[in-house]
């Protein structure tokens, strides 16, 4: 069974999510930034829900500015290292530049090229 990858790009204005399995997109989402999230368990609960829905653990790549990584949604420790559970593993990386390829979901959610690039930067399914 192939693992699903969830790439999260956190910025001051928004949090973008891209869920993929192999080179296929399963979900795109644009959520409020961490500064507007009031419940510290919101992100872990979201990841747990996705893992339960898919009936498998999710590999998470958290892309954020270095200054924000240690404060990211309860998914990292105070040093910026990813937190892990039976539902997900988190790897924190700095924001990166973009690239492209693979089947895309149509819609008006926005540009997810940078999230695709972060996934490829870590290697096709093996970096987290």
The three-state secondary structure class of 9 is strand
* Three-point CA angle 94, 109, 111, nearest 5°: 45
pLDDT tens per residue, the chain (128 residues)? 578 999 999 888 889 999 999 889 999 999 998 888 888 889 999 999 999 999 999 999 998 876 666 566 888 887 778 889 999 999 988 765 545 556 666 666 777 777 877 877 776 555 44
| CATH superfamily label, 4-121 | ATPase, nucleotide binding domain (3.30.420.40)
**pTM greater than 0.85 (yes/no):** no
What pLDDT is recorded for position 103?
Answer: 64
Phi, psi of 98 (to 5 degrees): -105, 175
What string of DSSP letters covers 56-115?
A: S-EEEEEEE-HHHHTTSTTSB-TTSPBPB-SSEEEEEEE-------S----SSS---HHH
Domain ranges of the chain: 4-121
Q: How confident is the model at residue 74, as a pLDDT? A: 84
């Amino acid at each position: 069974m192939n693992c699903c990858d969830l790439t999260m790009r956190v910025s001051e204005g928004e949090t973008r999510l891209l869920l993929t399995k192999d080179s296929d997109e399963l979900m795109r989402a644009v959520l409020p930034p961490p500064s507007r999230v009031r419940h510290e368990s919101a992100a872990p609960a979201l990841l747990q829900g996705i893992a339960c829905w898919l009936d498998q653990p999710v590999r998470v790549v958290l892309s954020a500015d270095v200054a924000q990584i240690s404060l990211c949604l309860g998914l990292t420790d105070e040093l910026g290292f990813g937190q892990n559970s039976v539902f997900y593993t988190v790897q924190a990386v700095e924001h990166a530049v973009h690239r492209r390829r693979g089947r895309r979901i149509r819609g008006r959610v926005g540009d997810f090229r940078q999230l695709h690039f972060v996934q490829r930067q870590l290697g096709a399914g093996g970096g987290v």
